[in-house]
Structure 1
Amino acid sequence: MSDSFPPEAMADVIEEIHDAVDDGEETNVGDLLDAMGRSSFVPVLMVPALAVVSPLSGVPGFSSVAGIIIALVSAQLLVGRKKLWLPDILRRRRIPSHWLERATRSLWRPARWFDRHTRPRLTFLAAAPFDRLIYLACMLCGSAMPFMELLPFTSSLAAMAVVLMSLTLLVRDGLFALAGYSMIALLFTSGAVLIF
């Protein structure tokens, strides 16, 4: 896929994931992310988050890898990089293709629901300087996800917050940013209560 690929809805991103799945037994993570385009940071941010929201979250270690990718992509958005960079150790990771097929099937219906209910509103939340808060929040979620594997389902909640905020950047719907911030506040507040 070329760098000019411009997804305009969550269903577009799901479709690109589906099309990028290798016909063989496994799919390379680098190829999957490249399908979004090396300059398309927002869909690349959304892909690992969507994967963790899907049944793939049950695969040991998968949430950690996805969280690291989310944190790296968010950091590069924060510093204004024009081309995405990921270390080869992450790009070379392989995922069983049938797992990805199952994940995309499970995501079609919610993706269509989100697409029906998104529209430009509170657009200032997706523009500078408020977009920097989204990048920071996503970086926080991604960095925390490797540790969240110790608590069932918490990494999926953090990933859902990233999905909501990347959707804000994709369609300029600030209402979903507010929902994402609320989810993060709830997640980390409840986590602090469990720790202490």
Structure 2
Amino acid sequence: MTDHISITDLVNRVSHASDDDQTSVAQIVQALGQTSFLPNMMIPALAVVSPLSGVPLFSSICGLTIALVAVQMLIQRDHIWLPDFLMRKHLRTQRVRKATDWMKKPARFLDRITKERLRLLVHRPFLWVTQLICLLCGLTMPFLELVPFTSSLMGVVVCLFAFGMLARDGLFTLLGLGALGGVGWAAARLIA
């Protein structure tokens, strides 16, 4: 697991990943670090929660990125691999900066309230369960894109889990489980 990194720092890294008109996924991964699995999972999850989730195919790209990072965490790779077609995807830098500006206030709040607690929930064997749930959430995002902004719900769950792992704060893992339960309950009510 990586050392504790502030979410505000991660958001700033993404904001400054490119000085060009376009920012690629490869530039964002490079800014976050090839060995930084949790930041590379958290940033797409935060992005899906942002207004960017309304951009066509954006949630699918973020979901696939989350799923690929989660798989690699589960098999304990030492660095991130993402396929070329994902690494070459671009967004306008202006949109990226607008989204990261939107993320800064919640990031500062999260950085202030975090501390190491309920450590059992952020270490193996429970850590594998959390990573598996993140993988499944990422895989559902492309399907949720059919209904605009619903992938944001899965993004919230992944954000809570990733933040819990990053900060070693099991309280966020519990909140993630609660959010997942709430999403499951809402889906069951809609189907029934």
Bin for the TM-score computed over the shorter chain: over 0.9
- The equivalent residue for 1:165 is 161
- The equivalent residue for 1:37 is 33
Aligned 8 A contact 2:3 2:166 in 1: no
Name the SS for the 1:144 alignment partner.
Answer: helix
- Does residue 135 of structure 1 match 2:131? yes
- The equivalent residue for 1:17 is 14
- The equivalent residue for 2:84 is 88
Could you list the runs of 5+ residues in structure 1 that have no partner in the other structure? none
How many positions carry a matched residue from both structures? Answer: 191
% same residue: 43
Query: Which amino acid letter does the alignment assign opposite residue 76 of structure 1?
Result: Q
Distance 1:140 1:41 in 2: 16
- The equivalent residue for 1:175 is 171
Aligned 8 A contact 1:18 1:104 in 2: yes
Could you list the runs of 5+ residues in structure 2 that have no partner in the other structure? none
- The equivalent residue for 1:70 is 66
- Does residue 195 of structure 1 match 2:191? yes
Distance 1:7 1:26 in 2: 30
Distance 1:129 1:8 in 2: 23
**4+ long deviations beyond 6 Å:** none
Distance 1:187 1:151 in 2: 15
Aligned 8 A contact 2:4 2:167 in 1: no
TM-score of the aligned structures, taking structure 1 as reference length: 0.93
Aligned 8 A contact 1:122 1:174 in 2: yes
Shift of 1:73: 0.4
- Does residue 48 of structure 1 match 2:44? yes
- RMSD of equivalent CA atoms: 1.4
Query: Which amino acid letter does the alignment assign opposite residue 163 of structure 1?
Result: C
Query: Which amino acid letter does the alignment assign opposite residue 94 of structure 2?
Result: H
Shift of 1:34: 1.6
**More displaced stretch, 58-67 vs 11-20:** 11-20
- Once the two structures are superposed, what CA deviation does each residue of 1:138-189 show, in whole Å capped at 9, x if it has no partner? 0111000111112233211110111111111111100001111111121133
Aligned 8 A contact 1:11 1:111 in 2: yes
